[in-house]
Structure 1
Amino acid sequence: MMNSWMLRWVGLGLCLALGACSQPPTASNSPANPASVTPTPQPNVARVIALTSLTADLVQRLDGKKLVGIPGSSLLRQDQRFKALPTVSEGRTSPNLEAIVALQPDLVIGASSFHADVAKRLNESGIRTLLTEVNSWENLETLTTTLAATLSADPEPLLQEYRAFLADAPKMAPSTLVLANPKPLLSPNKASWAGDTLARFGAKNVAADLQGGAEFSGYALLSPEKVLEVNPEVIILVSTGEGVVEQFKSNPIWNQLKAVSNNRVYVLDYYGLVNPGSIDAIKQACTTLKQQVFANQPGIR
């Protein structure tokens, strides 16, 4: 039987696969479409199913009348805008193909790292799919523009929101380490959403160029000795569940770290920092970075 940290590791891996990878959006009517193809806008799209919380949020904001199905996500369950919409997936299970087909979508949007098999089967049934990945702000802007063109909507209000989130970000910020998992220690490098966000805030991500060990692109496994070696001025812990912060603090090296001594350890939610999740989650992460983390406000002991 898996112990608790291993279960969290598996769950985090699935979440990373769903929300924080590297490719721009790609469309397909056949599984053979190359990943580099940018989809041709098709304004006749009237019924859309989104298989990730971020794409559901984007479609709802661009043209909510066209969204007819969503994933089972804690972010969406908490949002009144999605209360009346049927879910076509739940938790870690693969989307329900029968439920998707029954909703008669013109387009199904998923994550290329997790929904490729589903997309292939939908394509074979004559349902068009759009596979996306978002691990940078540039990816987010490209995805927004692509969806707006597909839905015959205006992307500019959302693009302006993104710029506002990053407005007044510091030009220079202290050396920073994001720890996304306590056992084993997992940190995002520069090829991840979190890594790109740190760069936008002028932070020196001490894991930016680290590679190896992690199953997921954009992340590196760290030994306690490596964390002591880089010894950042700021540490950001990612909250992925109850008791996670205590697990970080139970590491024998904890009290030897500069960030701990200077009370510069902060806790941010998984959504917004590691997995973009939704526009509101991104906004909250940026606000916390600006007003607390990089404003030199006290953190946790």
Structure 2
Amino acid sequence: MTLRLRHVALALALASLGGAGHALTVPHLMGQTELAKVPRRIVVLEFGFMDALARLGVKPVGIVADGDKADQVLPHLCRFYPPGSVTVVGNRHAPSLEKILALKPDLIIADEEDHKQLYAQLSRIAPTLLFRSYRGSYADQLEQFSLISRVVGREGLGRTVLTEHRVLLDRARASSRPAAGRTAVGVLAPTGFFVHSDRSYVGSLLGALGRDNPVGNRDGQTQYVLSAEGLLALNPDTLIVLYNPEDEALFQKWRSGPLVRALNAARANRVYAFNRDAWAKGRGVIGLEGILNDVIRSRVLSGEGQGR
């Protein structure tokens, strides 16, 4: 489905939603869920939903962390969710049903990748919306934000936020030049180099910024390990590598490998590195603001050859 058709479909779905104080019929991946009123006690089980509520000024009663500690929240969300300010119901990949139940939520927002198998159990606790965030595209994030803004009764603010986002997107797109060529992106971790396809979150964002991502889905996966030989076969003109500070030595070793040095991107000095958590996990409009500002400041898509 094209982006325009997706927006039309979303608009039709949103038209079925009532205003504050009225019943809401909310479309999501598991069909439709009826909400008797605007929810006030919300538990969110993925970073993109935490991002959405933070930007809309709505405080959830429960959130998830990236690990087992409350302070393991993405850096750009820490100011909204400082340790101890909101109950953490566990790791986003394995939330605690008991902790969620104890919060007595009137809405749970869950992710398809990690929580589809828990959907029936979550739905017995509270009405549950299931979205595709973790494996979703850039367009998915914007659609979910629009829908969530209606669900929490902040539609007007949601429209303003998206207008501001599009202004920033246009600024970032203006820095994109044909000289950057085919642009690929991947996460470097101790377990390998994970490329992101043109239908992944960051991969599809490159398309919205005017660049061709040569990486397609493989076996239905939008992110998968690719060897140095496989990367050389793709031979992108610009390469974005995402890794965290603790993997700096790993990046230097990988970057100096003969196959990586043979890439068009490497020979033209167009290998750029950014923070893995900020880019690969920074779903939502707040996360996108950080990514787009990185794009603008670094001129990664300009083709100027100022990479590492």
- The answer to whether the superposition gives a TM-score over 0.5 is yes
* Rounded Cα–Cα distance in structure 2 between residues aligned with 1:184 and 1:234: 19
Structure 1 residues 137 and 229: CA distance shift in structure 2, 3 A? closer
Quote the Cα distance in structure 2 between the aligned partners of 1:163 and 1:64. Answer: 22
- Unpaired segments ≥5 residues, structure 2: 1-9, 14-26, 66-71
Correspondence 1:147 to 2:180 = no
Q: CA deviation at 1:129?
A: 0.9
> What corresponds to 1:71 in structure 2?
64
Cα contact 1:41–1:146 (8 A) shared by 2? no
**Preserved CA contact (<8 Å) 1:137 1:193:** yes
Checking the alignment, whether the CA contact within 8 Å between 1:95 and 1:118 is kept in structure 2 is no
Which of the residues 15, 32, 53 maps onto 1:59?
53
1:45 to 32, 36, 39: 39
Give the conservation status (yes or no) of the 8 Å contact 1:271–1:282: no
Matched, 1:163 2:157: no
Q: Are the counterparts in 1 of residues 196 and 222 from structure 2 also a CA contact under 8 Å?
A: yes
> 1:100: how far off?
0.9
> Within 5 A, what are the aligned runs for 1:16-165?
35=29, 37=31, 39=33, 42-65=36-59, 67-72=60-65, 73-75=72-74, 79-83=78-82, 84-90=85-91, 94-125=94-125, 127-134=126-133, 135-154=136-155, 155-165=158-168
The secondary structure found in structure 2 opposite 1:267 is strand
Equivalent residue of 1:180, what SS?
strand
Q: CA deviation at 1:287?
A: 1.8
Measure how far apart 1:35 and its partner are.
Answer: 3.0
Secondary structure class of the residue paired with 2:188: coil
2:107 partner amino acid: L
Q: Is residue 299 from structure 1 mapped to residue 307 from structure 2 by the alignment?
A: yes
Q: CA deviation at 1:36?
A: 6.1
2:80 is aligned with what amino acid?
Answer: R
- Specify the code of the residue in structure 2 equivalent to 1:87: V
**Alignment CA distance shift 1:238-1:165 (3 Å):** same
Match of 1:252 in 2: 258
2:208 is equivalent to residue 200 of structure 1: yes
Matched-pair contact (CA < 8 Å) for 2:64–2:88? yes
SS of match in other structure, 2:121:
helix
Q: CA deviation at 1:99?
A: 1.3
Question: What is the CA distance between 1:160 and its match in structure 2?
Answer: 1.5
Higher mean displacement: 245-254 or 94-103: 245-254
CA distance in 2, matches of 1:54, 1:35: 16
Is the contact made by 1:109 and 1:130 (CA closer than 8 Å) also made in structure 2?
yes
SS at match of 1:217: coil
Contact 2:214 2:234 in 1 (8 A): yes
The reply to whether residue 264 of structure 1 matches residue 263 of structure 2 is: no
Residues 1:124 and 1:76: Cα distance change in structure 2 (over 3 Å): farther
2:230 equivalent in structure 1: 226
Identity of aligned residues (%): 22
Over aligned residues, Cα RMSD in angstroms? 2.8
**For the residues of structure 1 that align with 2:150 and 2:272, how far apart are their CA atoms?**
39
Opposite residue 102 of structure 2, the aligned amino acid is A
SS across alignment from 1:82: coil
Give the drift of 1:278. 4.5
**Equivalent residue runs for 1:271-286 within 5 Å:** 271-286=277-292
Change (3 A) 1:219 1:41: same
Shift of 1:156: 0.7
Is the 2:28–2:129 contact (alpha carbons within 8 Å) kept by the matching residues of 1? no
TM-score (norm 2): 0.75
Give the whole-Å Cα distance in 1 for the aligned partners of 2:89 and 2:276: 23
Q: CA deviation at 1:265?
A: 0.9
Would you say the 8 A contact 2:75–2:278 is kept in 1?
Answer: no
Return 5+ residue gaps in structure 1 as ranges.
1-23, 26-32
Q: Larger deviation: 82-91 or 68-77?
A: 68-77
- Shift of residue 250 of structure 1? 4.5
* 1:186 match: secondary structure: strand
**Contact 1:197/1:273 (<8 A) preserved:** no
Shift of 1:195: 1.5
CA distance in structure 2 between the partners assigned to 1:77 and 1:86 by the alignment: 18
CA 1:106 to 1:275, structure 2 compared with 1: closer, same or farther past 3 Å? same
Aligned length: 263
